[in-house]
Amino acid sequence: MSLTNVSTANIIKKQYIHKMTSYRDAWKSLIITQLIALAISSFSTGGGTTSGDFYSINVTNYSVDVVFFFTVFWAFIASFLVTTNSYTYEDFSYVSNRTTSAVSAILFVASITTIAAIFTMLSSYFIFMVMYLTQDVNILYGSNTIGDFSEILSSFAAVWGYLLLASSVGYIIGALVQISRIFSLVIPVLIFLPGFMNVQVPILTDVVTFFTTETSVMMFTMKVLITAILLFMLGWLLSAKKEVRTW
């Protein structure tokens, strides 16, 4: 019988700190992913050309979109990996159960997602400076700034929201795959097959529309938070059903 009394909150806190400091692959992959995206974004992300009898106009676009999409992909993969045995077994270095392990993992995923969103928004400044220093042409009106404070704040809310959604989806899929390996086949088929067969799945379209057509930042944040919490809770419940660790 142990003489030390430890609270669940204390264990979660220790495991959370452990994850934040020891899951180096997640941090490194975030930096590498964003560096690759920044390199691509530095060469512009699009543009257009038009010409007529007496004119030719060329516009080169710069944006943080590539960084955003790469980070969404990273958030999905990183959250998926957090649910794998190689990561969850590390929790057994501490006094642990499935609940503390899952809660600390969810807190870790939410934290790195928030940091990834901050990095993504900061990347805007880097890309803007690249455009400013390398493009010896006029900048189109309205695009000579990254945006005012409210625009930056709403962009951050959107970036953070989609990253949180991607990570919560990654987490639930990861939890499902840990329950049964058959999900690793079924889920990709369910996601990609309609696209390959050029078939529209109404529920999928509705889910996408539910988030992308929301024009209120507050409503969007609420929708994202509620959805992410539900998905994380579901993932937690699923992981709680797993058997005890086998050595």
Partner 1 sequence: MVAVITLLPVIMIGLILVFFMTRNKSFRRQTSRIPLKYMLSAYVGILLLSLVTYYMIGQSEEVAGREIESSVESEDFDLHQKIFNRQFDEIDDKYYFGQEKIGLDSDELSIRFADQNMDTYSYNIVVTKDPDVKGEIIIDYYRVPFSINGIDISEEFEAADMRYDNGEIIVNNLTRDYVNLEFAEFQMPIPGSQFSDDRSNRDWNFNFQSGGDFYHIQIPENTQLNYDPNVPIYEFEN
Residues 143-182 that bind partner 1 (CB under 8 A): 143-147, 151, 154-159, 161-162
Q: Is 3 helix (H, G, I), strand (E, B) or coil?
A: coil
Instruction: Compute the distance between CA of residue 148 and CA of residue 108 in angstroms, rounded to an integer.
Output: 31
- Shortest distance (Å) from residue 91 CB to partner 1: 19
- Alpha carbon of 15 to those of 65, 89, 100, 203, 231: distances in Å? 34, 12, 8, 37, 21
For helices 65-82 and 149-179, give the axis angle rounded to 10 degrees: 30
Q: For residue 196, state whether it binds partner 1 (rule: CB under 8 A).
A: no
Which residues from 52-81 bind partner 1, rule CB under 8 A? 52-66, 68-70, 73-74, 77
Q: How far is the CB of 109 from partner 1 (least distance, A)?
A: 17
Q: Which is nearer to partner 1, 94 or 156 (CB)?
A: 156
32 binds partner 1 (CB under 8 A): yes
Provide the minimum distance between the beta carbon of 213 and partner 1 in the complex, in angstroms, as a whole number: 7
Residue type, 84: T
Angstrom distance (rounded) from CA 49 to CA 54: 14
Site for partner 1 in 108-137 (CB under 8 A): 119-120, 122-129, 131-132, 135, 137
